[in-house]
Amino acid sequence: MSKEDQSKNNRNKQGGARRDSRRSGSNRKRNAPRITREQMLEAWKPVTELGQKVKRGEIVSLDQIFEMGEVIKEAEIVDMLNPDLHSDLLLIGQAKGKFGGGKRRIFRQTQKKTREGNTIKFTTCAVVGNKNGYVGIALGKSKETVPARDKAVTKAKLNLIKIRRGCGAWEGSADVNSIPFAVQGKCGSTIVTLFPAPKGTGLCIESECAKILEAAGIRDIWSKTEGQTKTKVNLVQACMNALRGLSEMKIQTKHFQTLGIVEGSYGETKKVAPEISSIEEIQAEMKEEASETAETTETKTAEVAKPVETMESKESTKSTEAIAETTE
């Protein structure tokens, strides 16, 4: 056998050994046991004081965290308190295809020109909610697609907000299927206005905003959009700003029962204001308010009338003194 044939055989043996090692490595990866969610939570070592309380079982719901005014800084807190958390990715990417024929993607791709070449980054937007009064969104950016998705989901868990639900539609009854009143949110030039709707209407809104409302637990809505709605990031953020406006509005006590307003999870916590059992009690409260306003107006008019009476009495005394002087 010549030297050339021997070198070929050696190269073939080396190549076969490399292929076998690669295959064995891939098989090891496939056969490796996957880490379950329960195992991850058991191995979780909380860093913050809030996380330690959740781990010990002192805090059992998100409502307690928001009532105390605490800030969630660990995503495992949300995983521990809400095992059935719903998450989804929004279509914020470009529509690749000639003449606009392509579909939108979940990843928005951007490039930066450098001396080494083009550096590509991927951005994705995730929505997280328990479908019962809590929802959050966030953006994640990375050089690869999977880390960007994981970053977005983790940040969305930290950005959870509590919203109000009810039914302010004149056609509907007091329930948590919609929102109690109309709200407006803005981001950039995009304006989103949400209106309450009766049962059976559905989510009459853009598809990406509908994913947010569904994750929040809202089933019926009417909407109106203005501005550059094709910029999906601004559209989604405007929808979230509108939902934040629900909790910023001040509401009178008598409207909680009539509109069925609930803040946070329904069925787990009490309503924000004391319940009113019947319409008669509402009317009684309205009469009491009217009587109080009438009393205050009477007192104000009496206070204004006093100085007028004193001026008239002074003028009358002056006139009687003048008449007495003339008679003398």
Transcribe 99-114 into DSSP letters.
GG-SPB-S-EEEEEE-
134 shares its domain with 200: no
| Local structure of 255: helix, strand or coil | helix
Instruction: Tell me, yes or no, whether 87 lies in a domain.
Output: yes
Residue bearing tokens 């329904």:
266
Cα angle at 68 between 70 and 239, to 5 degrees?
A: 65
Q: Give me the percent of the chain exceeding a pLDDT of 90.
A: 36
Instruction: Tell me, yes or no, whether 234 lies in a domain.
Output: yes
57 shares its domain with 143: yes
pLDDT tens by residue, 27-52: 544 555 666 767 777 788 889 999 99
* Strand ranges for 117-258 from DSSP E: 118-129, 134-142, 161-162, 164-165, 183-187, 190-195, 203-204, 221-226
More confident residue, 325 or 115: 115
Instruction: Tell me, yes or no, whether 8 lies in a domain.
Output: no
226 shares its domain with 215: yes
Q: Which of 161, 183, 206 is the last residue of a domain?
A: 161
Average pLDDT rounded to a whole number, residues 54-58: 88
149 shares its domain with 199: no
Residue 261 — very low, low, confident or very high, per pLDDT cuts 50/70/90? Answer: confident
Residue 278 — very low, low, confident or very high, per pLDDT cuts 50/70/90? Answer: very low
Q: Report the pLDDT value the prediction gives residue 270, as an integer from 0 to 100.
A: 40
pLDDT surpassing 70 at residue 320: no
pLDDT tens by residue, 225-249: 999 998 999 999 999 999 999 988 8
Other beta carbons within 10 angstroms of residue 14's beta carbon come to: 10
68 shares its domain with 155: yes
User: Which residues constitute the domain of residue 74?
Assistant: 40-161
What is the residue-averaged pLDDT of the chain? 79
Q: Which of 194, 224, 251 is the last residue of a domain?
A: 251
Kindly report the backbone phi and psi dihedral angles of residue 130, in degrees, each rounded to the nearest multiple of 5, phi listed first: -100, 5
Average pLDDT rounded to a whole number, residues 127-137: 92
More confident residue, 101 or 217: 217
Q: Report the pLDDT value the prediction gives residue 225, as an integer from 0 to 100.
A: 95
Helices 207-216 + 232-248 axis angle, to 10: 30
77 shares its domain with 139: yes
Q: Which of 161, 178, 212 is the last residue of a domain?
A: 161
Instruction: Tell me, yes or no, whether 271 lies in a domain.
Output: no
The enclosing domain of 76 has a CATH number of: 3.30.160.20
